[in-house]
Every structure is written in C-alpha cells, then in structure tokens.
C-alpha cells in the first residue's frame, strides 16, 4: 500500500486532479482532459459549484427533463425531473396526459410537522427528571428565542417539547422529543440549532437544580439531531375515474384492467419483496423532482422507507380500490421539502426549476412531488399488468445501447425507425446494428 496523501484539501484543484489521475488511473492525461471537459466555461458558475462541497474536481451531470401536462388540483404544471433512468420522464408525461383528461391529480397536505431529538442519559429517579425538565422549560424556551424569532415571524417555530422515557430500549436513556414547523424551509439547520441550544440549556440548568446537588453529571447529552422520519409531514395524492373510462388504453376492458391494478397493489401491500420494487418505482418520480428542486433526496428516501415499514412490515405506499364504479388510486408519503434555504436560491438550475413550478411554497412542492410519484407508480403498474415493463423500458433504453456501440446519427435514425415495429432487446439491437454495418 502506498502512503496516505497529506493535506489533500489544501491542494489546488489542478493539483488534486493531477494527483488523482496519476495515482489511480491508467491514462492520467485522458482523465485530466475528461474532468476538465465537464467544467463550466463560465468561471463564476464553476466556482459556485466548486464551493458546494470539498475537494471538487469536476461536475457530475444528470439529465434534467420535464414532464408536462400535470393537472394538479386544476392547475397545470410542467414538472422538472433530474434522473438518469431512460423511461422515467416518458412514463410520467404519459400518465400526466392520461389523468389530465380524467380530472387530474387531487393532492392534499395532511401535515407539515418535523421532528428532532436531544438524546441523553440520566442515572437518577425518573420522577425527579420529569420535575426538572418541567422546571427547565421556561429557560429552554427563553434561551432559544434568538433562534426561533425569524421562524416565528414566518409562522413556524417550536410546536412541542416532550420528555420521553426510553429506558425500555437502553439503560438510563431519555429524549427530548421536539416538534417543529419550518414553513417553506426544509428546516434542518433551524431544527439542529434549536436542539443544540435545548441541550446546552438542559445541562446548564441541571448544574443548579437542587435535587441534582449530589450528582456529578446528572444530564449526559449524547447528541442532538433532527429526525428524517417525518410521519406527520405527510402529503396525499389521488387520481380516480369511472372504470369505464379505462376501456380504451390498455388492450383490455377497463374492468379487467382496474382489477389487475388493484391486485398488483394488494401484492405490494402483502409482500415486502414486491413492495420494495413497487415503492422504488414511486421514488423514481419523487427523487427526480426532489433532486431537480435542490432538496435532500437521502433524507426523503430514508423517511419514506421508514414510513412504508411503520406497521412493522414493509408495505406499498400507494393504494388502489374499485368503489362506486370508480377506479381510485392514491399515495401517501412523508416529504420534508424546502423551497427556501439550502441550494434553492444558490443553484441556478434549481432556482429555474422552482420558477418553472411557479415558485411553490414547500407544501405545494410536497403536492407536486407526490403527484409525480403517483404518476410514476401508475405508469409502472399499468405496464406490468398489461404488456410487461420491458417493451417500454427497452424502447427508451435503445439509445443507450446505440450510444454504447458508438452508433452514428444515421445508424441511430435507421434503428429507431426499425424498432418502432420490433421488440427491443440487447441482442436484437446488436444484430441489427451488425447487419447495418456489414450488409450482405
């Protein structure tokens, strides 16, 4: 093993690239050229991106697409989506168009409450701790006033602080379980700052609390951090239409199609192996919007999957039923999103994506994102229970295969045309490309 590098973060960008290229790649010159090819020609824009993280050497592109015709509560949206998977934007657009003429997506925010916790240990009597926390509460609130003033002006702030006895889980373990409203901000910094202040006040107040006089360290704070599990920051999206309105589009009568859709969702409600893939399809839509709008997709993913497992079994996030002659298809997801703060005003493409969406409030963005997730789920299931997923998926993947094989524009045009009437598979594409390149 070679020696670890010292002081890498202090290297210039050029030095970092050279070091990486020489140490880890077979063709350093090519590596350097490739990394620089992805730099933005506008120095100021490049510097902005360089400064988002540490040790930046280049930019990593994802395609930014747009799925138009989303009728959400009567308003028409074109939804920006950043994603690499070939068929996602096409499927979202198709589902949006389909539901656009059937009443569109109805969405509703069910809650916007976020959570954070101060995790601490206390070795003494739980009744004494309870009395202490009650006594300390005015100081906790007062000490955090400087942090909460702005948020309160915007209609948010601390909603509740509760002492939770968690000794069943771990000896001596307690929490301050805290709830917040953060308006249009995702709120991570606000929540974490508040929590750290609560912890500091708790420790300071404990030092002078008479009943703790004989204790060395009554409150041992381990950590203070928001939770990405946000079951009360929840949004619902729904589509519905008379079963007869499903007659035309799926190669079978509407009733059979609706029944097959309901069964597909029932399987995802009963069977975790299927539920994970089912929900992954929903996240294809959700993540793409979350990324395009500069939100934290890791936080969203963690929270959504925890929510899907809240019953103790991992289940579908969406539901389907046939009721009163209607097919009803809905989704509930926890989405802690922001439309101010973070990258939202900083990343030019994020700013533009939000503008395309009409500069939505955070709750409105929750609704739009949930609609994209439901559309994606509808698109995937409607293929799965009819012609299968590969026909559409491989059609969209065709260009990737052709690009991988270095196909010319002329070859691409010919083969795209050919595969309009033939099933795409990797081997069939290779064969047709070969025939084209070696006729006779």
Q: Which residues are catalytic?
A: 85, 280, 296, 393
Nearest distance, CB of residue 105 and ligand MEV, angstroms: 18
d(CA 419, CA 196) in angstroms, rounded, equals: 59
Nearest distance, CB of residue 283 and ligand MEV, angstroms: 9
Of residues 4, 38, 32, the one with CA closest to residue 18: 32
Nearest distance, CB of residue 87 and ligand MEV, angstroms: 8
Binding range to ligand MEV, per CB under 6 A, among 107-115, 140-148, 232-240, 380-388: 380-388
Nearest distance, CB of residue 174 and ligand MEV, angstroms: 42
389 is a site residue for ligand MEV (CB under 6 A): yes
Of the pair 80, 281, the CB lying nearest ligand MEV is at 281
* Interface with ligand MEV: number of residues (CB under 6 A): 10
Of the pair 218, 281, the CB lying nearest ligand MEV is at 281
Contact call for residues 95 and 376 (beta carbons, < 8 A):
yes
Binding range to ligand MEV, per CB under 6 A, among 93-101, 153-161, 316-324, 377-385: 377-385
Of the pair 17, 300, the CB lying nearest ligand MEV is at 300
Nearest distance, CB of residue 177 and ligand MEV, angstroms: 35
373 is a site residue for ligand MEV (CB under 6 A): no
190: part of which helix (H) or strand (E)? helix 188-207
Of the pair 141, 384, the CB lying nearest ligand MEV is at 384
Of the pair 16, 278, the CB lying nearest ligand MEV is at 278
Residues in CB range of 180: below 8 A, 6 or more apart: 113, 114, 115, 116, 156, 157, 158, 159, 187, 190, 191, 194
Of the pair 282, 366, the CB lying nearest ligand MEV is at 282
Long-range contacts, 12-19 (Cβ 8 Å, 24+) = 13/50, 13/56, 13/57, 16/55, 16/57, 17/57, 17/58
164: part of which helix (H) or strand (E)? strand 157-165
Of residues 352, 380, 294, 390, the one with CA closest to residue 88: 380
d(CA 346, CA 49) in angstroms, rounded, equals: 9
Binding range to ligand MEV, per CB under 6 A, among 31-39, 148-156, 379-387, 394-402: 379-387
d(CA 284, CA 305) in angstroms, rounded, equals: 13
Of the pair 84, 125, the CB lying nearest ligand MEV is at 84
Give the x/- contact pattern for ligand MEV in 336-355, rule: CB under 6 A. Answer: --------------------
Give the x/- contact pattern for ligand MEV in 264-303, rule: CB under 6 A. Answer: -------------xx-xx--x-------------------
Nearest distance, CB of residue 278 and ligand MEV, angstroms: 5
Contact call for residues 226 and 195 (beta carbons, < 8 A):
yes
215 is a site residue for ligand MEV (CB under 6 A): no
Nearest distance, CB of residue 88 and ligand MEV, angstroms: 7
For every residue of 364-412, which 3-state class applies, written as one string?
HHHHHHHHHHHHHHHHHHHHHCCCCCHHHHHHHHHHHHHHHCCCCHHHH
Of residues 234, 229, 122, 214, the one with CA closest to residue 176: 122
d(CA 186, CA 28) in angstroms, rounded, equals: 41
DSSP track, 249-275: TSSS-HHHHHHHHHHHHHHHHH-HHHH
The sign one gets for the Cα dihedral 195, 158, 204, 124 is: negative
DSSP track, 326-345: EEEEEEEEE----SBSTTTT
Q: In terms of DSSP H, where are the helices of 293-334?
A: 297-308
Number of Cα atoms under 13 Å in the Cβ half of residue 230: 33
The only residue of 95, 370, 380, 433 in contact with ligand MEV, by rule CB under 6 A: 380
Of the pair 144, 318, the CB lying nearest ligand MEV is at 318
Nearest distance, CB of residue 152 and ligand MEV, angstroms: 42
Q: Which residue is nearest to ligand MEV (CB)?
A: 281
Residues forming the site for ligand MEV (CB under 6 A): 85, 277-278, 280-281, 284, 380-381, 384, 389
């Amino acid at each position: 093993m070679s020696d670890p590098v010292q002081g890498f973060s202090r290297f210039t960008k050029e030095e970092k690239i050279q070091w990486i290229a020489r140490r880890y790649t077979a063709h350093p010159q090519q590596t350097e050229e490739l990394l620089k090819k992805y730099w933005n020609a506008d120095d100021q824009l490049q510097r902005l991106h360089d400064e988002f993280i540490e040790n930046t050497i280049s930019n990593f592109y994802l395609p930014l697409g747009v799925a138009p015709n989303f009728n959400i509560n009567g308003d028409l949206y074109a939804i920006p989506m950043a994603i690499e998977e070939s068929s996602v934007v096409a499927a979202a657009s198709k589902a949006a168009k389909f539901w656009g003429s059937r009443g569109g997506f109805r969405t509703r925010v069910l809650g916007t409450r976020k959570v954070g916790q101060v995790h601490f240990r206390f070795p003494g009597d739980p009744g004494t701790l309870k009395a202490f926390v009650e006594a300390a509460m005015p100081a906790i609130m007062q000490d955090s006033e400087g942090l909460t003033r702005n948020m309160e002006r915007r209609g948010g702030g601390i909603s509740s602080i509760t002492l939770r006895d968690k000794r069943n889980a771990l000896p001596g373990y307690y929490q301050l379980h805290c709830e917040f409203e953060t308006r249009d901000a995702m709120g991570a910094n606000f929540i974490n700052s508040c929590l750290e202040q609560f912890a500091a006040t708790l420790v300071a107040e404990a030092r002078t609390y008479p009943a703790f006089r004989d204790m060395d360290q009554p409150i041992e704070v381990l950590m203070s951090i928001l939770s990405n599990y946000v079951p009360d920051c929840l949004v619902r999206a729904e589509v519905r239409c008379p079963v007869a309105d499903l007659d035309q589009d799926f190669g079978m009568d509407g009733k059979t199609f609706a029944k097959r859709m309901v069964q597909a969702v029932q399987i995802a409600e009963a069977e975790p192996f299927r539920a994970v893939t089912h929900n992954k399809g929903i996240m294809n839509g959700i993540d793409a919007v979350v990324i395009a709008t500069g939100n934290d997709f890791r936080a969203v993913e963690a929270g959504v999957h925890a929510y899907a497992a809240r019953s103790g079994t991992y289940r579908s996030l969406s539901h389907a039923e046939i009721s009163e002659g209607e097919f009803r298809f809905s989704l509930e997801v926890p989405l802690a999103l922001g439309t101010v703060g973070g990258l939202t005003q900083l990343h030019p493409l994020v700013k533009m994506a939000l503008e395309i969406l009409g500069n939505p409030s955070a709750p409105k963005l929750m609704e739009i994102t949930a609609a994209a997730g439901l559309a994606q789920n509808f698109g995937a299931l409607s293929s799965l229970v009819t012609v299968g997923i590969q026909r559409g998926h491989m059609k969209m993947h065709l260009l990737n295969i052709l690009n991988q094989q270095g196909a010319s524009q002329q070859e691409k045009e010919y083969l795209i045309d050919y595969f309009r009437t033939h099933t795409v598979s990797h081997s069939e594409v290779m064969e047709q490309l070969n025939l084209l390149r070696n006729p006779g």
